[in-house]
Structure 1
Amino acid sequence: MPHIIIEHSEDLPLLPQVLVEKIHTTTFESGLFDLETIKTRAIAYQHYQLGVGKEGFIHIAVHIMAGRSIEQKQLLSEQLLACLQTYCRASDSLSVNIYEMDHEIYRKN
């Protein structure tokens, strides 16, 4: 079920589709989700401003249904950040956040 949205600067050290594939695979390898339920997409930004010494950025927002433990969410965010660190420059600003969605409110067809 997770919806993974990768926001990033245009000057990535790897192709955006490769980043999507790496994050998608890492999410599956967490053991928390079935492969057919994971949805991953990326949005590139042309205009942005970063802190001193930062060349680019990647922020991953993971939207999941409520009910996972804090430990499961921490593990997922740590694994995704480690994946980013493997493929990105030390000068990139990297971040991950897990957002919970309410079963009573979320709708899909």
Structure 2
Amino acid sequence: MPHIIIEHSEDLPVLPQVLVEKIHNAAFATGLFELPTIKTRAIAYTHYQLGDGKEGFIHIAVHIMAGRSIEQKQQLSESLLHCLQIYCRDSDSLSVNVHDMEHEIYRKC
């Protein structure tokens, strides 16, 4: 499992569904997760304000079960950021953060 949430400005240079697919596949390519366990979704924002010279933004929040090493989390965040850089403009603000989820607290059905 990871839950991958892509928050982005409405005016992406790539179709949101294409971005979801590319990020989903990039997460799988890290070798950290099995394909059926990855869940990826995107949320577009109409109202936002950015720093000077930025046209749009994409922020990826990846929620994974606790227990991965710092190196594995770095590999994941770097892979996803690299994927964003391929499909986005230099003027887009791009960021990725990996969050641990506690086994004792997380529930699903």
How would you bin the TM-score normalised by the shorter chain? over 0.9
| Pairwise CA RMSD | 0.2
- Offset, 1:43: 0.1
Distance in 1 separating the partners of 2:72 and 2:9: 28
- Offset, 1:104: 0.1
Unmatched segments (≥5 aa) in structure 1: none
Distance in 2 separating the partners of 1:19 and 1:86: 10
Paired residue total: 109
Counterpart of 1:43 in structure 2: which amino acid?
I
Unmatched segments (≥5 aa) in structure 2: none
Aligned-pair identity (%): 82
Deviation string 1:20-44 (CA, Å, 9 cap, x unpaired) is 0000000000000000000000000
Distance in 2 separating the partners of 1:87 and 1:14: 7
Is 2:16 the partner of 1:16?
A: yes
Question: What TM-score do you get using the length of structure 1 for normalisation?
Answer: 1.00
Aligned to 2:76: 76
**Where in structure 1 do 4 or more consecutive aligned residues deviate above 2 Å?**
none
- Offset, 1:73: 0.2
Aligned to 1:52: 52
- Offset, 1:76: 0.3
Aligned to 1:87: 87
Counterpart of 2:104 in structure 1: which amino acid?
E
- Offset, 1:90: 0.2
